[in-house]
Structure 1
Amino acid sequence: MGGGQSKPAADPLIAEWRKIRWGQKEEDLQFVKDYQPHNKEVKQLRVLLHGPIGAGKSSFINSVDSALRGRITDRAKTDAANSSSKTFTTKRRIYKINKGGPGTFYPFVFTDTMGIEGAEQHGICVEDIKLDMKGHIKDGYKFNPYCEISEDDQYYNKSPTLEDKAHVLVCVIDGSSSSILDDESKRKMRRVRTAARDLGIPQLVVLTKIDEACKEVQSDVKNVYKSKYIKEMVDKISKDLGFPLNCIFPVKNYASEIDTNHDIDSLILCALKQIIDSGENFVNQL
């Protein structure tokens, strides 16, 4: 071979590093449909989402809604034009998912929050996330990057019940970012993680935009657990933030699709099932 010939690129696909039964979507869907909290003090599990700006928190809520309803929805508003430079969500919003008939909802809710930004006094105040975990912030509160909510604020809940508190904390991270997280964002997220640990709240990671991160996943979402790049991202998140590998779930949010897709749903429902299991375990340990 000539000395000027370059070496072939390394294979972007590796041996499957996590098993998922792609054909079990209906089983996971049925699990979600049948779920009811066993603790009578809790009518609905509260899933608190946090993470960097543009990571896809609102899009994940929409994707769960779409997977459960069998059609594309966009109730949690997103900003496709400016999703990576400035947070679009500024107010605390709670989202219920309709279960079919009028006024019937699944027994879990998502709390969407302002994004975390690396710079100080930008993005959500970490203390607000901690207070939200404890149930002290009401729906509709407009986050102030400069300071936490005051106890005198009309949106401050002085006497939270178990149902007001977060039952599972989900960190949403953009898998398509080359650096994933800057140092200051990691520092803020570790503070959130430590606070949740002290409260005993279970924590998971949803790794979004896997199709943007890896061409092989973009061509076939079933390649997600064969992707060398996605595996490296999962390992990096585990190392940087301390999450166990089995608590990190890659998903593809619905973005350009006009119809739901069986394989995309499978990843979303796999993550949702673990979120529900973790929250259920938490409320039954109290």
Structure 2
Amino acid sequence: MQYTKNEQVAQALPKEKKQRFCALLGDVELSLLYKASVHGYDAPAFHQRCDRQGPTLLVAYNNSGYVFGGYTSVDYTQSGQYITDEEAFLFYFQGKIPVCVKINSGHHARVDDSAGPSFGQQLYFCYNNQPVVYNQGGNAYTINATTMYGNDGNLKECEVYKIEQIPPVSVEEKPWRDVPWTTERREELVKLIKNYKPLESSVNRVRILMIGPVGAGKSSFFNSINSIFTGHVTNKAMAGSSSTSLTTQFRTYQVKDGREGKPLPFVLCDTMGLEEQSGAGLDIEDISCILQGLIPDRYMFNPVAPYQLKEQKFSRSASLEQKIHCVVYVIDATKISLMSSKLEEKLAGIRKKVNSLGVPQIVLMTKVDEACPLVEEDLQKVYISSYIKTKVQEVSSRLGVPVSCVLPVKNYSQELELNLSCDVLLLTALQQMLRFADDYLDDISPSY
């Protein structure tokens, strides 16, 4: 799992030192993969998050205030092989400046085994699954333990960062999707949504279910849509940065046409975040019950005990209006490439369940501004950004949905005022959700 600008786990690396490393390593970003005080000092925890992640930077902090560590350009894979890596180096700080110690000629940079991180069979971090660094001595790197870490082997933290190249700023010759970035288009979308009526007369408001990993922006999407129709930025649903889901209940949110207005014809349903490990985050069986309209508003999720049908006061099946009419997967654009196989399997299991019930599905790709510098500079360039286009295609491939069902958006997060470009993207996405809900209602059996 990767952590980026809105860190789900706070980074110990000071901003100034982080900038020094970015300058040292070139046009790169550092994304937190592993934090020992949170994930554990044991080797399996390290490998679970750091294997097959490409170049990485390990940063250790000891009780004497020293910051030191090492860089390797070769993946951790637990191959058992000796690794030759001429780009590898150890480092420590002299004041604000990182001092690099390159690998000596003819030596291996490290052994790619199942133990904790080490360099040159010389310096071992989280040694024996403990918060310590152990210097075995050796000739791979020429280091002085007193200068490097004050001979203090007791660690108070150990972090591993993925080194990511900042994508080149490139644009398509013409937009790969046509979006009018005008006030008129915004007002047209607002009017269409306000006047929307579900195809099925027995349904007053369609129900849209938001599903996604912790921190992807499910609650933030509701807050953003609510902000547009309220007329200013709101924060009704709990949203923020955390290592675990801030949403612990099943919540159904209505959006009103203005502060004193009537409810609009849709309901956004928020769920607990998905997590890769079993017994944590939202359970697939809970999702099945939600889809069938069996879980009540404000039901408190229990990751180790899914909802039991016997908990219902009534055994009758839910009405069509109580069922879910469209499922939206919320995926962070900055974390697509680092999505773990376990999380991908979980999403595949959910998609299989949703498919079996015939519910249409859309992917909301959030944080597009954080993923691409071009879009961060101007959100209206989202559909001429080659990088965002490749991310849309990657999401499509990983989740098994058509490219046309992947919608890039930017939620309101740090803004104090509404923004035309944000609104157009968000309202366009909502309009597609309502269209998909109508497709479901149009196809539903008359027996309902």
Report the TM-score, using the length of structure 2 for normalisation: 0.59
Specify the structure having the higher radius of gyration (Cα).
2
Give the one of 255, 272, 282 matched to 2:440.
Answer: 282
The aligned runs of 1:91-170 (5 Å cut-off) are 91-100=249-258, 102=260, 104-154=262-312, 158-170=316-328
- C-alpha distance in 1, partners of 2:417/2:343? 35
Structure 2 residue 201 is the aligned partner of structure 1 residue 40: yes
Question: Are positions 1:20 and 2:182 aligned together?
Answer: no
Letter paired with 1:121: G
Offset of 1:68 from its aligned partner? 2.3
Within the alignment, does 1:246 sit opposite 2:404 as a pair? yes
Instruction: Report which stretch shifted further, 143-152 or 253-262.
Output: 143-152
Greater than 4 Å deviation, 4+ residue runs? 154-158
Partner SS state of residue 309, structure 2: coil
Rounded to whole Å, the distance in 2 between the matches of 1:132 and 1:55 is 20
Distance 1:45 1:157, change over 3 A: farther
Give the Cα–Cα distance (whole angstroms) in 2 for the partners of residues 229 and 130 of structure 1: 35
The aligned length equals 276
C-alpha deviations, 1:66-113, integer Å up to 9, x for none? 122221111111123x2xx21110100110001136361001101100
Q: Unaligned 5+ residue runs, structure 1?
A: 1-8
Native 8 Å contact 1:133 1:166 kept in 2: yes
Deviates further, 265-274 or 190-199? 190-199
Contact 1:89 1:114 (C-alpha < 8 Å) held by counterparts: yes
Write the letter of the residue equivalent to 1:20. Answer: V
Correspondences of 1:40-119 after superposition (within 5 Å):
40-80=201-241, 82=242, 85-100=243-258, 102=260, 104-119=262-277
Structure having the higher helix fraction is: 1
- Say whether 1:199 aligns with 2:360: no
The sequence identity of aligned pairs, in percent, is 37
Where structure 2 has 5 or more consecutive residues not aligned to the other structure, the ranges are 1-166
Distance 2:272 2:305 in 1: 13
Distance 1:148 1:179 in 2: 30
- Cα distance between partner residues in 1 of 2:429 and 2:278: 31
Q: Which residue of 1 aligns with 2:139?
A: none
Question: Whole-Å Cα distance in 1 between the matches of residues 367 and 327 of structure 2?
Answer: 20
Displacement of 1:28: 1.1
Query: Which of the two has greater strand per residue?
Result: 2
Change (3 A) 1:133 1:10: same
**Match of 1:226, SS?**
coil
The Cα shift of 1:278 comes to: 0.7
Cα distance, 1:166 vs. partner?
Answer: 0.2
SS of residue paired to 1:271: helix
In 2, Cα distance between equivalents of 1:141 and 1:77: 16
